[in-house]
Amino acid sequence: MKKGVTIREPTFRVTRARAAASQSSSSELLKEQGSAREFHKNSKRSVQDENKSSVTAAGGAQNKRKAVLKDVTNICCDNSYRNCIVPAKIPRKNSIVTKKNPVRIQKVSADSQLMKCDETERVHTQSTLEKVPDTSEREDKKTVSQLQSFPNKGKSKIQEKLTISSDPDFIDIDCDKKDPQMCSLYVCEIYSNLRVAELIHRPCADFMKTVQRDVTQSMRGVLVDWLVEVSVEYRLEPDTLHHTVYLIDSFLSKNYIERQKLQLLGITCMLIASKYEEMIAPSVEEFCFITDSTYKKSEVLKMESQVLNNLNFHLSVPTAQTFLRRFIRAAQASQQSQSFELECLANYLAELTLIDYNFLVFVPSNIAASAVFLAGWMLDQSCHPWNHTLEYYTNYKPKDLKNTVFALHGLHLSDSNSPLTVIRSKYKQDKFKNVASLPSRELPETLFSRSSLSE
């Protein structure tokens, strides 16, 4: 016997029958306890398996949850969503099925879900189109007609390319396939789309008469001349300056503005253009500072919101600078050495058109081609400024550029007497080859007498 353990004597007489009965009852108790432990053990395992299967089912449906949402903004009912199923209907695996609690598996057809999704999207699209005003509907029809006519033009361009490319004077400027930055494989398609975009996103050419009553053409010219000075001060790219003027004209084409807020519109549009074109754009505080703190930061941000919403955030638009870069490259291809003076003079002439409101009647590609035409003639009168390479890559013949070139020539003649001297002072620097000091040349009518160089 162990020390400290006491055994109580039974208070009744133990017989053989009582001992056998107690022994049988204890064995039954042990069996019940064992079965209870086994039951608890199995129930825990079933619960774990059930939880595990539910997690797996939820995880498997998590990636496809967006496919069955009723919000059609993030649904694309394509072939990739043919297998979408409702997560709540997924049957659980490894779960215990009993007679008391049977699991009813409901099959969900993917095609039925797809039909529901298509119907929801159709109703949403139909309700959205009903809200579109008549004016935008007319613009959409005009845009669609322009885009529909463009493939036919593209076919004619391809046929024209086959005829011009056989000419010995034609030079392929996209023959360098190794430089990925030149995008030689699809650069023609890029500029074909830009030619369509410049027709769609054009400011109104007569907004000074139809919309504005307090702002005049001379005020716009003074604003643009000052913005050129700001771009020189902050060393902004030429694309930023051209983009700024486009944003100003686009806003003035649709919104009346008082002359006290014209400068505010100017710095706001330059802020937007800087964010779009520059790697490191000037801050809002810097634009407020350059106006001698005439406007507060809150006013600039408010105007920025108005401009962006007015344009529907359509900021990717071609300007004259967009086409000028490629046209200059085509002009330099026929020369033995690349002329940096031609590039500077063409940029100078193109920037002069930003000040003159009357040049809004010309599309940017026409202005860029005319700047290259006039710059080539001013630098060398011994040969025709236009050739087969330029005619092909610009898609303009000398006859198509006559009005624009003469207008640009007159603008260059009057620039020496203009009170707006920032652009002229900018291009009188040595880094721009002092092209603003070059004399103007007389333009003979014979330069435009032929409709095409091949005639």
DSSP string, 372-418: HHHHHHHH--SS-S--HHHHHHH---GGGGHHHHHHHHHHHHHHTT-
Whether this model's pTM surpasses 0.85: no
**Domain co-membership, 186 together with 244:** no
**Domain co-membership, 44 together with 170:** no
**Domain membership flag for residue 364:** yes
What's the confidence (pLDDT) of residue 260?
94
**Domain co-membership, 183 together with 324:** yes
**How many Cβ atoms sit within 10 Å of the Cβ of residue 62?**
10
Collect contacts of 81-90 with beta carbons under 8 A, ≥24 apart: 81/114, 81/117, 82/110, 82/111, 82/114, 83/110, 84/110, 84/113, 84/114, 84/117, 85/61, 85/110, 85/113, 86/113, 87/57, 87/58, 87/61, 87/62, 90/57, 90/60, 90/61
**Domain co-membership, 193 together with 326:** yes
314-335 pLDDT tens trace: 898 999 999 999 999 999 987 7
What's the confidence (pLDDT) of residue 95?
41
**Domain co-membership, 105 together with 253:** no
What's the confidence (pLDDT) of residue 294?
92
- CA distances (Å), origin 210, targets 198, 270, 318, 353: 22, 25, 25, 22
**Domain co-membership, 282 together with 186:** no
Quote the DSSP letter at residue 176: -
**Domain co-membership, 71 together with 105:** yes
What's the confidence (pLDDT) of residue 333?
87
**Domain co-membership, 196 together with 221:** no
Q: How many CA atoms lie within 13 A of 4 on its CB side?
A: 0
Structure tokens belonging to residue 343: 């590039």
**Domain co-membership, 194 together with 331:** yes
Structure tokens belonging to residue 368: 């860029």
Asked if residues 422 and 228 have their Cβ atoms less than 8 Å apart, the reply is yes
Asked if residues 207 and 253 have their Cβ atoms less than 8 Å apart, the reply is yes
What's the confidence (pLDDT) of residue 247?
97
Please list, residue by residue across 374-407, b when 16 or more beta carbons sit within 10 angstroms of its beta carbon and e when fewer do.
bbbbbbeeeeebbbbbbbbbbbbbbebbbebbeb
What's the confidence (pLDDT) of residue 220?
96
Quote the DSSP letter at residue 142: H
CA angle 27, 32, 35 (to 5 degrees): 125
**Domain co-membership, 268 together with 328:** no
Structural domains counted in the chain: 3
What does the H/E/C string look like for 37-89? Answer: HHHHHHHHHHHHHHHHHHHHHHHHHHCCHHHHCCCHHHCCCCHHHCCCCCHHH
CA angle 106, 107, 111 (to 5 degrees): 140
CATH of the domain at 221: 1.10.472.10
**Domain co-membership, 257 together with 222:** yes
- CA distances (Å), origin 435, targets 224, 345, 348: 21, 6, 8
Asked if residues 270 and 240 have their Cβ atoms less than 8 Å apart, the reply is yes
**Domain co-membership, 351 together with 442:** yes
What is the rounded CA–CA span in Å between residue 201 and residue 68? 38
Asked if residues 296 and 280 have their Cβ atoms less than 8 Å apart, the reply is no
Asked if residues 373 and 365 have their Cβ atoms less than 8 Å apart, the reply is no
What is the rounded CA–CA span in Å between residue 355 and residue 411? 10
Enumerate residue ranges in the chain where pLDDT < 50: 1-3, 5-6, 30, 39-144, 146-166
**Domain membership flag for residue 146:** no
What's the confidence (pLDDT) of residue 88?
39
Range of the domain at 268: 204-228+236-293
